[in-house]
Structure 1
Amino acid sequence: MWGIVFLLIGILGFLIYWLGNRKLGRLLFVAYIARAAAALIHQYVFILPAGCCDAFRFEANAWQWSQYSGDVFLELFNPSSSYVISWLGALLYSVFGRDMLLLQMFNVFLGTITVYVVYKIADEFLEQRYAYIAAWLFALHPTVIEHSAVFLREVQVILFLSLGILYFVKWLKTNRSLFVVNSFLFTILSSFFHGGMVFGILVMAIVVGGVILSRYLRALETTRVKKGTFLTTAVVTVGIVVLSMQGLPELSTVGDLSRLLAAEQAADAAGTAVENRAHGGAAYLTGMAPGNPLDIIWQAPIRVVYFLFSPFPWDISSITHLKGFIDSGFLIYISYIMWKYRRELWANDIFRYLFYILLLYVFVFSYGTSNFGSAIRHKSKFMPIIVMFYGLKQYHWRKE
């Protein structure tokens, strides 16, 4: 019942927004309808491929946990596990009662809000035409829609990563220290739902450190340090001090981050992850697991290619595989754009830094994935970054 109620509230809300903001409102309304329709199909017609297994387990835990209250319920919130989304679902169930469509509509709403955030990212540094196209590509991406229609944690991962990227881009443009704080916080929140997302902070921190250093070097000539640069330095320093005192955390899927600092332990962790996930008819590169740091280096290009572009035509044996093939085709197209405009990408700070973040994510997840079924799911996490590179096409028209 409550699922239908919130479905109708969402339709009315986004329709009203459309009346006040024609272009962006239409984008959000269509995005919402597409996700809501997929949710209704999943609930009443047939189970979507992404809506089984993990989604069922997350929902079952949410119902069970909703029976608890007080301190016991609070203790169930554990970012080092994979069930933070179940805790949120339990919170909804404790208020409204058990209704699986309600949890789906929760994700439908968050997925639609993410479309808005993706547009805001693109609007920060792309021409408006290309900002809208990037947002539409994200809004209508089949895998992203499917994950927004079922009770999976991908929606929360993508939303918080998108917010982290938005504030990172804002900081690059304005040098306001608050944006750095927001960027790190939202990326950390993303890692609560999937620990691998924390690696984005590594690139962000390196970029922030490099930019700050260059600004201090320029300040030697003018003997003036801008307030934003000083405040950002303070923020980064405090973060380093806290980490040195508390140690690196343990996160879901990734586990104890401190073990990844040693090359041998990192290779062992990568090898274990590869072997554990190389199963089923969609498995690839079976038997090729890294055993030492050198293996990680030489295997990386192969694993990245399989992660990004599988399933290949000869791998297709079902409708689900065909969906993955379409997804890979889209990535091939974006990769072509990135290659064609590689000089423009390299010359633009924002594009270049987004590429660094995407590259690290792809590298890390290529070692945490050994079948193209999981790869399809994981690649959707980075779609807010990937669609930004469509904006490189704006340089074509400038050249004309």
Structure 2
Amino acid sequence: MVLVWAIFFIEVFVLTLLKPLITDFESATLYLIAFNVIFVFISFIKYRKGIRELLFAAFVLRLLTMFWDVYARNIYLLPHSGNDSEGFLISASHISNDLSLLKTDMYGGLYTKALGVLFYITEPERLLGQYINVLLGVSIIVFLYKILSLLEINKKTKELSITLLCFFPQAIIFSGILLRENIISFLVVISFYFFIKWYKYGKKFNGPLSIIFLAIASIFHSGVIGILVGYIFMFMFSKQGENKLTFNRNTIVIFFLFTFASLFSYTQLNEFLFSKFNSIQEVNDLYDSVNDRIGSSTYLVGLNVDSIWKLIFFSPIKMFYFLTSPLPMDWRGLSDIISFFLDGLIYLGIMMYCAFHINKWKKGHPLIIGVLVMLLAVVFIFGMGVANAGTAIRHRHKIYPIIIIIFALVNHSKKSRLQSKEIKEKGEKSVIDI
């Protein structure tokens, strides 16, 4: 995908140079996309059979979704496309006409500002912005494949995991419409890729790169910073070359280093990195944030948090709802039913599968524990701040690839244990036969 992105940016540069000569920018953008698609298909050829076909299908579905959202929205408006996507487009268009707006608070934040700069050097053409999301969507799949390969996940589990991402309905939709979910998910996956490289091979630059990309993702939405808790856990207690977690005095030093870094980030960079939490100045503000419910698809309407003990007690419920809503008791109609079966039920199924094998994790991959810590931290942050099914669907998509990774690790560990058991049984049978 590196070549694909390089070709895309070259095309944008050429488009910028030819801008004074172009009278129909939409047609020019369509030609740009058509030319870039050729290189996307070429880049897929190097992958082995099975993965290659999945990538082709995933890309085509995302491309068709993009064209539907642009040219057929009058027939059926895709879920999540509408208010925010149009707001982002309008804000980016305003910025493209007046770059001084980059210094102000704009609807969509950093995403619309970046989009506005792109529109400034080209034209306010939504196809261009949405095709970037298509490329991001496929790049997320490619990096997931790289991560699973680094982890030496078995072939069947790898293909199943890639399939769960390629054909996940929300992943297809978010890759085809003009929202910022894909850029955040992409940065999170890149961050996790470098984290896994650190876990596997060490090397000084991999750890810092994982944190840098996570920090960039948190600028788009600060909730994903919870993943850092899992990173710190693994930095402290895992050791390269050993398939276990260890505790020694070095971990104490690392703990203090990260504590200092965290304090510095909070005191010096709070407004920049954690803008989503700026409204929380004291404990009562935190309770107000947890109790806040906006929108027609709200859940847990009767739940009220007014103490730290209630916050702790109700957090598992809030986290569960964040990952699975809209649940049957909150269904308002067909759209909620479809959302549950095509989204919430998938999360629920993965959670139940992993929980069913939790008693065997201690014999499996120690990374499972680290990823679980990441997910618990980030789901706690999002779960506390979200009480709307529509918002929950969008936010949990940001961590869906990480959820797929823990599923792959658990499934791989399960299959490895079964294979070991079969080999042992065959060996015992051979001894008896002799």
| TM-score greater than 0.5 by the shorter chain | yes
CA shift for structure 1 position 30:
1.9
Aligned match for 2:201, one of 174, 181, 192 = 174
Preserved contact between residue 322 and residue 389 of structure 2 (Cα < 8 Å): yes
- Which of 307, 310, 315 pairs up with 1:300? 315
For residue 384 of structure 2, what is the aligned residue in structure 1?
367
Residue 379 (str. 1) matches residue 396 (str. 2): yes
- Greater displacement, 158-167 / 318-327: 318-327
Residue segments in structure 2 that go unaligned for 5+ positions in a row: 1-25, 240-244, 423-434
| Aligned equivalent of 2:406 | 389
8 Å contact kept, 1:308–1:375: yes
Give, in whole Å, the separation in 1 of the partners of 2:298 and 2:247: 49
Q: Determine which of 50, 57, 62 is the counterpart of 2:80.
A: 50
* Matches of 2:263 and 2:329, distance apart in 1: 52
Partner residue in 2 for 1:191: 218
| 1:323 pairs with 2:338 | yes
Aligned to 1:18: 44
Q: Residue in 2 aligned with 1:4?
A: 30
Deviation of 1:336 after TM superposition, in Å, equals 2.0
| CA contact 2:78–2:173 (8 Å) conserved in 1 | yes
Cα distance change on mapping 1:105 and 1:271 into 2, 3 Å: same
Equivalent residue in structure 2 for 1:333, among 349, 360, 381: 349
1: CA distance, partners of 2:110 / 2:31: 25
1:114 pairs with 2:145: no
Deviation at 1:234, TM superposition (A): 11
Mapped partners of 1:7, 1:111: distance in 2:
15
The CA deviation string for residues 178-226 of structure 1, in whole angstroms up to 9 with x for no partner, is: 11101100111111111111222233223323347x878388xxxxxxx
SS across alignment from 1:51: coil
Residues 389 and 255 of structure 1, relative CA distance in 2, 3 Å threshold: closer
Instruction: Choose the corresponding residue for 1:255, options 247, 267, 277.
Output: 277
- Aligned residue type for 2:348: I
SS at match of 2:398: helix
| Aligned partner of 1:124 among 150, 154, 165 | 150
**Shift, 1:82, TM fit:** 4.2
Corresponding position of 2:248:
217
Deviation at 1:376, TM superposition (A): 1.4
Cα distance in structure 1, aligned partners of 2:211 and 2:131: 28
Superposition deviation, residue 38 in structure 1: 0.7
Aligned to 2:371: 354
Give, in whole Å, the separation in 1 of the partners of 2:347 and 2:160: 16
Alignment partners' CA distance in 2, 1:269 and 1:123 = 44
Distance 1:210 1:316, change over 3 A: same
AA in 2 matched with 1:255: F
Q: Which amino acid counterpart does residue 254 of structure 1 have in structure 2?
A: K
RMSD of aligned C-alpha atoms? 2.9
Q: Distance in 2 between matches of 1:318 and 1:104?
A: 29
> Is this contact kept in 2: 1:31–1:139, CA < 8 A?
yes
Deviation per CA, 1:339-369: give whole Å up to 9, x if none. Answer: 2221343442211111110111111111111
How far off its partner does 1:245 sit?
7.3
Instruction: State the secondary structure of the residue aligned to 1:285.
Output: coil
Distance 1:288 1:189, change over 3 A: same
CA contact (8 A) 1:49 1:320 kept: no
Q: Percent identity?
A: 22
Provide the TM-score with structure 2 as the length reference.
Answer: 0.79
Structure 2 partner of 1:90: 116
The structural deviation recorded for 1:271 is: 2.5
Alignment of 1:262-277 (within 5 A): 265-266=282-283, 268-277=284-293
Deviations 1:261-288 (A, max 9, x none): xxxx35x3443223433431x1111142
**In the alignment, is the contact (CA less than 8 A) between 1:11 and 1:29 conserved in 2?**
no
TM, length-normalised to structure 1: 0.85
* Counterpart amino acid of residue 397 in structure 1: K
AA of the residue aligned to 2:227: G
Q: Distance in 1 between matches of 2:262 and 2:318?
A: 32
Cα displacement (A) at 1:390: 2.9
CA change 1:237–1:59 in 2 (3 A) is same
Say if 2:95 and 2:102, in contact at 8 Å, map to a contact too.
Answer: no
- Contact kept in structure 2, 1:283 and 1:372, CA below 8 Å: yes
2:279 & 2:200 partners in 1: Cα distance? 31
What residue is the counterpart of 1:312 in the other structure? Answer: 327
CA contact (8 A) 1:65 1:90 kept: yes
Equivalent residues, number: 379
- Equivalent residue for 2:103? 75
Residue 300 of structure 2 corresponds to: 285
Specify every segment of 5 or more residues in structure 1 that has no aligned partner in the other structure, as ranges.
Answer: 220-228, 260-264
Contact residue 249 and residue 257 of structure 1 kept, 8 A: no
The 8 Å contact of residues 110 and 156 in structure 1, kept in 2 or not, is answered as: yes
Select the structure of larger CA radius of gyration: 2
Give the counterpart letter for 1:105 in structure 2.
Answer: Y
SS of 2:300's partner is coil
Match for 1:373: what amino acid? G
Distance 1:90 1:4, change over 3 A: same
Which deviates further from its counterpart, 149-158 or 200-209? 200-209
- 8 Å Cα contact 2:324/2:348 also seen in 1: yes
Counterpart code for 2:94: Q
Q: Which amino acid aligns with 1:93?
A: F
